[in-house]
């Protein structure tokens, strides 16, 4: 999948989404003047508009999971018309390993559950910089291993589990699979969904020139700050479980890469697709023309976002049917 030389134009609906998002950010103090807990509170307020509405679930369950280094809040979405034991997508929200929650991504997860006819388990993993790599990853893998043994307690089918997420959540989905593979437990995961995953701490000059800079949804400086929050040192930048672009893509399950055309980290997914194909991994990738990073949150106002969500839901449902 190649990029054109000219800088693509944003989809009009998504441009309006970004404009409204900037207006909402402007109602709050400058981000850099706030503590990390205060930043998260602002994020919840700004993104509430996009988490409202959408499909109603047959049942929504609040759970928690204690791991060695921390604990995680969980939310299980069970759509209407699905009989137990439910196939389930474990979903990891984005936010640069630093921000957001299962609340900011509530509607997105309900959309996946409703459109795909499977349960979705939202995970509030420990956030950086309070919790540096690999705390969130280790907690996540502990949970996946626990779920594989205890899924029936929640009416979940342990034989039909997938994992996915957006941005940092896409990274953690790949990293979790790498770690599970090291442990000989990769059979647990039947499919992976990556929505504009950030797979490396490096962003090219070309990508920054085309999609970063003033007015962009995310530039290289902001992305670098997220990585500084998450990683312990420079050595972590080459660790495949922190930066999956450096990993080995053999023995992967079916994987779907959602790639927004106007995204500063789109080059990561394009490179991952190439490396997965070279390794013989079953990968599907789709480029969404005129879409920026985080565009799935615009589902209430964007046909393109709804298309991408439907594509992801269909992909995961198909993998469950084949499991």
| Residue 221: Cβ-neighbour burial (10 angstroms; 0-12, 13-18, 19+) | exposed
Q: Is residue 172 one of the residues assigned to a domain? A: yes
User: Whole-angstrom Cα distance, residue 19 to residue 133?
Assistant: 33
Residue 166: strand pairing partners: 195
CATH number at residue 53: 3.40.50.1820
Asked if residue 280 is part of any domain, the answer here is: yes
Span 291-321, pLDDT tens digits = 999 999 999 999 999 999 999 999 999 999 9
Residue 7 domain flag: no
Predicted pLDDT of residue 323? 84
- Residue-wise pLDDT for 1-18, tens only, equals 334 456 799 999 999 999
Instruction: State how far the Cα of 94 lies from the Cα of 2, in Å rounded to an integer.
Output: 25
Domain for residue 296, yes or no?
A: yes
* Torsion 203-206-303-192 (CA) sign: negative
Could you list the residue range(s) of the whole structural domain that residue 243 is in? 12-322
Residue 1 placed within a domain? no
Would 26 be classed as within a structural domain? yes
pLDDT the model gives residue 43:
96
Q: What is the DSSP letter of 228?
A: H
Output the CA–CA distances (angstroms, integers) from residue 160 to 17, 156, 165, in the order listed: 35, 8, 17
The number of folded domains in the chain is 1
Q: What is the pLDDT of residue 2?
A: 39
| pLDDT at res. 5 | 53
pLDDT less than 70: residues of the chain: 1-6
- Report if residue 164 sits inside a domain: yes
């Amino acid at each position: 999948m190649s990029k054109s030389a000219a800088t693509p134009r944003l989809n009009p609906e998504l441009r309006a989404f970004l404009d409204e998002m900037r207006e909402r950010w402007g109602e709050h103090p400058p981000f850099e003047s706030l503590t990390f807990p205060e930043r998260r509170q602002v994020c919840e307020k700004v993104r509430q508009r996009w988490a409202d509405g959408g499909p109603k679930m047959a049942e929504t369950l609040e759970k928690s999971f204690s791991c060695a280094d921390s604990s995680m809040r969980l939310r299980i979405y069970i759509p209407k018309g699905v009989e137990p034991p439910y196939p389930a997508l474990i979903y990891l929200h984005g936010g640069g390993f630093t921000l957001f929650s299962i609340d900011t991504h509530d509607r997105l997860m309900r959309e996946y559950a409703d459109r795909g006819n499977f349960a979705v388990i939202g995970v509030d993993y420990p956030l950086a910089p309070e919790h540096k790599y690999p705390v969130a990853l280790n907690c996540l893998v502990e949970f996946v291993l626990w779920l594989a043994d205890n899924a029936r307690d929640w009416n979940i089918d342990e034989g039909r589990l997938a994992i996915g997420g957006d941005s940092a959540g896409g990274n953690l989905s790949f990293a979790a699979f790498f770690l599970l593979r090291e442990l000989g437990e990769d059979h647990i995961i039947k499919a992976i969904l990556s929505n504009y995953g950030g797979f490396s701490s490096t962003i090219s000059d070309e990508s920054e020139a085309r999609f970063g800079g003033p007015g962009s949804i995310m530039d290289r400086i902001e992305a670098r700050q997220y990585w500084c929050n998450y990683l312990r040192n420079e050595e972590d930048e080459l660790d495949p479980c922190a930066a999956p672009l450096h990993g080995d893509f053999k023995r992967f399950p079916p994987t779907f890469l959602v790639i927004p055309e106007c995204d500063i980290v789109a080059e990561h997914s394009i490179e991952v697709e190439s490396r997965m194909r070279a390794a013989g991994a079953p990968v599907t990738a789709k480029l969404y023309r005129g879409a920026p990073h985080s565009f799935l949150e615009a589902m209430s106002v964007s046909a393109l976002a709804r298309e991408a969500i439907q594509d992801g839901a269909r992909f995961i449902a198909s993998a469950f049917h084949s499991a």
